[in-house]
Amino acid sequence: MDFKSRGKTHHLFSSHAILIITFAQLFGTSLWFSANSAAANLIQEWHITVADIGWLTNAVQAGFILGTFLIAFTGFADRFKASFIFTGAALLGAFFNLCFAWLAQGLIDGMIYRFCVGLCLAGIYPIGMKLIVQWAPHRAGAVLALLVAMLTLGTALPHALNGLSANLNWHYVITFSSILASVAALLIFILGDDQSAQVVKKRISTENAFQVFKIKKFKASALGYFGHMWELYAFWTMLPLFIAHSGVLKALGLSNVPLATFLIMACGAVGCLLGGYWSKTYGSDRVAMGALFLSGLSCLIFAFAWRYLPAWSLLIVLIVWSASVIADSPQFSALASVACPLEKLGAALSIQNSIGFAITIVSIASTTYAFDQIGLDSAWILLLGPVLGILGFYRTMSKTE
């Protein structure tokens, strides 16, 4: 076989691998908001509040933060095969998710199980990003957009399951997420790593893990990403409440909040794919900043005008907000992956994710608490993320020129 033929074969196999990884990401990340899809049931059965649902979400975020810090500081992500880490994490995540569905009796033990799920997600989301960059290093913006689109659908999927199975016990809805995560583990186990991928034998210290922030372009993308993260997960947490209390169900002709949540949240997948396509022409930096500006503008309109706009207008605002709030994420990750040396990529993505998700704990807790006090005006809190993210990105990038 000549060189050209070998190149075509590798391209076809890498395309096949990308397809497998994206579906595995879809199935694996369905664990993330599986508990939120049952929020109404949990509030009723466990006699908890909206703020308590926020703490359940934050338990996942806290587990994810600890997991990504451990991965980054030990060099685990770069010393072992990514497929090995992903497979083990998906299986463990499925197990702890089952424990939440069938063993949790209240908020405290529920938070413990959700924390363990978050630990496992640290071996799914950033490791999935590393896997897909392995297989397509020269198409980082486009393939990461596809991967994050699957993350978005995976996050929204439990809402769809809950909405389409209104008479089904919520325990079974959450169990289905565990089944999907187990399928994800099987897919990645069969696929394995790109044979050309290398593992790092040398231990990466805590100091070295943070040294990636000395790279100006990585620091700029990370600051933009942190602003994006302040907004993203709090928005996803609050979306069912925004829908239920703003009257947009009338515009959709639905009375099913979980299904409406899925339909609006799924628009984020479209936003990711469009961002990946436009990144080929305009570059990841412009797409990321454009999406962050658009999500901030949508947040501003919703927070300012929810009392005055008709239901159909608010629906459009939520759709645009949902599409733009996640579209910048893969582009920030693409910028980070290009800025970092390949041997530090796993640690760099893990540390960026870890800090970003630490920020979400504050924004989720603040927004859910504020909703109990001031209702839909709590949306103002989310605006802080896009404003600081844009300022941080441009100020740091200006210093590199």
Dist. CA 133–CA 14, nearest whole Å: 10
Does the pLDDT at position 8 exceed 50? no
More confident residue, 212 or 361: 361
Dist. CA 139–CA 302, nearest whole Å: 35
Dist. CA 168–CA 286, nearest whole Å: 44
Contact 28, 93 (CB under 8 A): yes
Contact 93, 181 (CB under 8 A): yes
Q: What does the domain layout of the chain look like in residue ranges? A: 3-193+214-398
Q: Which letter does DSSP use for residue 197 in this model? A: -
CA-based nearest residue to 257, from 356, 162, 176: 162
Q: Using N-to-C axis directions, what is the helix angle for 140-164 and 170-191, rounded to 10°?
A: 150
Contact 18, 146 (CB under 8 A): yes
- Label residue 197 exposed, middle or buried (CB < 10 Å: 0-12, 13-18, 19+): middle
CA 225, 292, 337 angle in degrees (round to 5)?
35
Does the pLDDT at position 232 exceed 80? yes
Dist. CA 305–CA 197, nearest whole Å: 51
Class of domain 3-193+214-398: mainly alpha
Distance of CA 46 to the CA centre of its chain: 27
Question: Whole-prediction pTM value?
Answer: 0.83
Mind listing the pLDDT tens digit for each residue in 43-94?
A: 889 999 888 988 998 899 899 999 988 887 777 777 788 899 999 999 999 9
Q: Tell me what the mean pLDDT of segment 5-28 comes to.
A: 73
What's the start-to-end Cα distance of the chain, in Å?
46
